[in-house]
Structure 1
Amino acid sequence: MDSLVATMVEQVRAAVADRTPLRIRGGGSKDFHGLALHGQLLDTRMLRGIVSYAPSELVVTVRAGTPLAELEAALAEQGQCLPFEPPHFARGATDSATVGGMVAAGLSGPARARAGAVRDYLLGVTLLNGRAELLRFGGQVMKNVAGYDVSRLMVGAWGTLGLLTELSLKVLPVAPGEATLRFECSQAEALRKLHAWGGQPLALDASCWLQDDEGQGRLYVRLRGAVAAVEAACKTMGGTRIDNASAAADWAACREQTLPWFSARAAHPEL
């Protein structure tokens, strides 16, 4: 156990002894989400850095306080990525999503339907439980069937089941081919199209339907995969092809939930 983890262990022990609640916080990018914030601050950002990365094995082990942008940059240098497109929610000057917060929140982006969610790429975790015990679950391989799958239980738990200190994740190569198609259609027609395409061997990756101020609906579909597969799908599906550079900003807005559909919602939405 290194000194940084030991410091956290002592902080948890002291909180248990004093019966004081702790508020686990990384970069604070998701402070707006969920319940009211209370408790003594336990900052995870001191635990940062990539512990090990084997591009050929598609596995990375990283400390929980590592900025998500830092991990994504390291993966991009090797032509790899987190395929579930986790949102950063960096809406303030000091906000910086962390890898631990990514797992604790369990939120994914536009590619979630095809690529899967955060939990599908979490191989193992090291965590501190409520008794200040340092525990390890899972491993660094996909086919690890020893014991209960506690690692995935941490996804979306918001730190209520333990303080994450280290995580092992599966990563994937960046798709060589990508295209975005636009279709002028109603929401009902968009759903019919998506259902029909879903039953075909197409390189579907993400979809988004929007309606402008005049009531005109537009369906955007992103394709990713082998270049030949993407080009063939474009010919089969039709629509208007959008420049990738222009479409990237829109997909990023979808991932970060800054599209008008999100910002125009009520202050206390039911969903």
Structure 2
Amino acid sequence: MDQALSQIARRIRAVAADATPLRIRGGGTKDFHGEVLQGDVLDTAALTGITSYEPSELVVTVRAGTPLAELEAALAEKGQCLPFEPPHFGENAAAGTVGGMVAAGLSGPARASVGAVRDYVLGATLVNGRGEVLTFGGQVMKNVAGYDVSRVLAGSLGTLGVIAEVSLKVLPVAPAEATLEFTCNQADALRLLNEWGGRPLPLNASCWFEQAGVGTLYLRLRGAVAAVEAACAHLGGERKENALAAVEWRLLRDQQHPWFAADEGAMALWRLSVPQTAPVLAIDGNAPLVEWHGGQRWYKAPAEHAARIRDIAHAAGGHATLFRMPASRAAGGDVPRFDALSAPVARIHRALMHEFDPHRIFNRGRLFAAE
């Protein structure tokens, strides 16, 4: 065990006796995500570096405190990428870390076509609430016997332990890409996306939003050159210049797109996860920003409207997350950030948390506001 990991394990053992809460922190770019943070900071900045990278095997092993931008740059040199496009939040785009990427479990515009963060986690090293260093999974896809613990870490928000290292599957950058633009309303955009989803098209990402009352659908295609060119000819629309489109998709990924910036601070940002076939959902008369071929919809609405918003999401077969509070209330509020879990699922969550963190040290209350 190296010195940095050993120091973290010792600190955890030292605080376990009196159950002193610790707040795990990488770059801090996702501090807004989840309930109000509690505890003394446990920094993972010393856990840095790519420990193994086999481009021919499409596998990289990297320590949790490594800047996400550093990992992506190393992959780009070999013509490879993290296809789920993890977001880089915060003013400093280089601050986000690999551990934070996995712990938050957030994916970018391509998620509906290529899968989520958890689908690319092959293995992980974790320090649990007893200060024990545990290793799960490995560096190949078929390496799991029993519970797939390494993938359970994706989206756990640090409540199971300190992620020290992860092994990730990576993919080659697509040979061809194109972004098409269509002018249409939300209902037509959802209809088109559902129609296209049933065809053999190289769909990769989509986004619909309104600006000055005019709705626009953006569709990104990725794949073989012949497939992308054939799809462009078949679908029509206005083809965007790739370099400019790449900037727009990056702004969307990082929530720096003008839609997110408009009226910032006045309303809460709600994330609705619903079936792609769900119809237009009327929430406070505001047009959403729609991603993931209809499966992810962002709305701006008061936090106090939580019950009605969640009822609408449930009726559509999904759920709603209070993703960001208004700037004036970012530090508090009595509205739960996450939708309520069913009783059986909640029991499983709490049982897992107790098994890995019996003294309730890590990120206390991050997932369950009442803790």
Q: Same fold (TM over 0.5)?
A: yes
Pairing of 1:71-90 with structure 2 (within 5 A): 71-90=71-90
Alpha-carbon deviation of 1:249? 1.2
Q: Please say if 1:231 is aligned against 2:232.
A: no
* Separation (CA, whole Å) in 2 of partners of 1:56 and 1:107: 27
Match of 1:249 in 2: 247
Match of 1:145 in 2: 144
Please tell me the residue identity of whatever aligns with 1:234.
C
* Separation (CA, whole Å) in 2 of partners of 1:101 and 1:180: 30
* Separation (CA, whole Å) in 2 of partners of 1:262 and 1:189: 22
The SS at the match of 1:18 is: coil
* Separation (CA, whole Å) in 2 of partners of 1:54 and 1:68: 18
Alpha-carbon deviation of 1:18? 3.0
Structure 1 spans left out of the alignment, 5+ residues: none
Please tell me the residue identity of whatever aligns with 1:147.
G
RMSD: 1.3
Pairing of 1:55-204 with structure 2 (within 5 A): 55-92=55-92, 96-204=95-203
Q: How many residues align?
A: 269
The SS at the match of 1:152 is: helix
Structure 1, 239-248 or 34-43: larger mean CA deviation:
34-43
Structure 2 spans left out of the alignment, 5+ residues: 269-301, 307-320, 322-371
Structure 1, 137-146 or 54-63: larger mean CA deviation:
137-146
The SS at the match of 2:17 is: helix
* Separation (CA, whole Å) in 2 of partners of 1:201 and 1:133: 48
Identity across the alignment (%): 67
Match of 2:311 in 1: none
TM-score by length of 2: 0.71
* Separation (CA, whole Å) in 2 of partners of 1:83 and 1:77: 15
Alpha-carbon deviation of 1:31? 1.4
Match of 2:210 in 1: 211
* Separation (CA, whole Å) in 1 of partners of 2:53 and 2:259: 38
CA displacement, residues 67-89 of structure 1 (integer Å, 9 cap, x when unaligned): 00000000000000000000010
* Separation (CA, whole Å) in 1 of partners of 2:174 and 2:244: 18
The SS at the match of 1:126 is: strand
Structure 1, 194-203 or 15-24: larger mean CA deviation:
15-24
Alpha-carbon deviation of 1:92? 4.5
Structure 1, 96-105 or 12-21: larger mean CA deviation:
12-21
* Separation (CA, whole Å) in 2 of partners of 1:92 and 1:226: 34
TM-score by length of 1: 0.96
* Separation (CA, whole Å) in 1 of partners of 2:113 and 2:83: 9
* Separation (CA, whole Å) in 1 of partners of 2:92 and 2:109: 23
Structure 1, 54-63 or 31-40: larger mean CA deviation:
31-40
Match of 2:260 in 1: 262
Find runs of 4+ consecutive structure 1 residues off by over 6 angstroms: none
Match of 1:51 in 2: 51
* Separation (CA, whole Å) in 2 of partners of 1:142 and 1:86: 20
The SS at the match of 2:109 is: coil
| Larger RCO (alpha carbons 8 Å, 6+ apart) | 2
